[in-house]
Amino acid sequence: MSRRVKYFSPSLDELVEEDNVVRAIKAYVDTLDIFKLNIKTKRSLIKDVQPAFHPKLLLKIYIYGYLNKIRSSRKLELEINRNIEMMWLTQGLRPSYKTIANFRKNNPKALQIIFKEFSILLKNLKLITGDLVAVDGAFLRANASKNTLIMRNTVKKDIAKIDEDIKNYMTILETLDKEDANTTNLKISKEGTKNKCCVRKICYYKDNK
């Protein structure tokens, strides 16, 4: 009698190590007060009939993108669909690049504040070096509440470097998103012109038949 061996695919949670920085991103964003950050969340801000996603989901996506230098909304969308860390972070939710881009356009100041705060927390808590084996929400809340003190203790040149990096990243995002939008509009325009030409040819054929 043959024995059947069953193989079980590991879950996303098993594929993401306990000291992976995405766990810190999730724990950090979960502590944020969306209203204090003045983040725009109205459904009316989501254009092109894109479904509304919770702003914390989009914040997690952008923090991951900032840390990994993912430089456009289209590339962020691509990573959401193929990157295990992003899949874990988004829990299978898949906002489109338009939704991602619109969120940035409507909340640039909030994103800059969050990028800066999280970068300083990482630097001071040494999460990037893996010195902390795991980060839970309670630990991060306790440290996030000390952020003012952390800011004071952070060397000015380090803060200046972080500010410059954030400014450059936001500029690149805006530039590449505009280029993507222009390329998309150009394709739509060409397709529209092509369709009009086809209609004219059909009409001409019918009139001269």
- Per domain, the residue ranges of the chain are 12-207
- Answer for the pair 124, 135: CB distance below 8 angstroms, yes or no: no
Q: Which two tokens stand for residue 159?
A: 């803060």
Mean pLDDT across 107-130: 80
What is the spatial distance between Cα 8 and Cα 197, in angstroms, rounded to a whole number?
Answer: 55
* pLDDT per position as a tens digit, 44-70: 444 555 567 899 999 999 999 999 999
Give me the pLDDT at residue 121, please: 83
pTM given for the model? 0.74
